Structure 1
Amino acid sequence: MTAVVIVDDEPLVVAGVRTVLEAAGIAVAATAHDGADAVALALAHRPDVALVDLHMPGMGGLEVVERLAAVSPGTRALVLTSFGDQENVLAAVEGGAAGFVLKTCAPEELVAAVRAVAAGEAYLSPAVTRMVLGLVAPESVPRRRDAVERVARLAAREREVLELVAEGLSNAEIAGRAHMSEATVKTYVSRVLAKLACTNRVQAAMLARDARR
């Protein structure tokens, strides 16, 4: 069974997240209301996933993500974020976070995100992808050239899926637009990430954007 530590300084958020996860059969090993406790609990319980709020008193979520990557690499960080927090999300990407979900997401998306991250996948909600792409500045000419060369590795159908990922669409939305099953979309997305040497959808979306400039 997947085990999770929930880290958020708002008790109501913790209670709500716990209820959603436990109803889906995901075990909540512990909860914490600040970053220091989160790291200690991760070391004590070795959960599969730490669900981390970026904004907490004392040790903030960014530092928690970095500390977990260093001292408990088996625990993958899934970040809870909100609109207007683009810079911190970008920093968390660089710090080693495995996924991001908005606090306003549906319960089903939260469960899917936890399961994906626990399985070793990266999870970025379409809304977070769009948010980060709106922040990142255009890249240099050499970076654009690299993006063009990497995107050129893809087959036509893979490029189509990449462009839809770059729009911030979910797998279900891509399936509807591209007239394929969600399982097929998932296969294509995994193949695209591998060919582009990207670890998550945001990186792939940024490459697609740079290749178009």
Structure 2
Amino acid sequence: MKSLRWITAALAALAIGYYLFHGLTYVSPNAYEPAALGWVGWQMALPITAITLVPIVFAVTGEGIAAAFTGRNSAEFRNGLVGLGTIRSFAQTGLTVNDQPQVRVEFGVEGVDGKNFTATAKMIVPLTELALLQPGVVLPVRYLPDRTDKVEVDMSGDTSMAQRAMNESMIRKGITTRHKLDIAARGIATQAVVHTRSSAPLR
């Protein structure tokens, strides 16, 4: 996305530069043609196109917007690590795409190594799902180990990675054990008949 922005900005600068160069160096071929015509030829379309295209490209390639159009994480985060992000706060940025608001979300993230950090993410959220963003909601997020200030909500659809991150978190917190998770994953379903019951508390 950054490369696309740089290329667009460079092409826009070349287009505007050529227009100015042509207008300033234009020499009328005869006495009946005013020199001002050097500014109103076909080259006039170059700065108009540049001024129109640059904001569009910068807007479309903005944080969280490309993901809204493609349904995928950005190339930078696509192969990032998956952690658990707990929403702390969120606010609309004021930008909308097809009447859908862009939201800046602050997460408390637990990484795959158990380390906790604070990060933010920007994403386009449909109005029908905006009410689901509440403090305390946990979402799988993609992050980069060397840059933990920003994350992206995982859009890969790979629930196994999110479940793995959740399992590791529960093991670290002592809620379950790896052995119990292994039984749940590979155990054989069967039936049991209750012969007796006791009021003693379970341990």
- Normalising by structure 1, report the TM-score: 0.23
- Normalising by structure 2, report the TM-score: 0.24
Structure with a larger share of its residues in helix: 1
Structure with a larger share of its residues in strand: 2
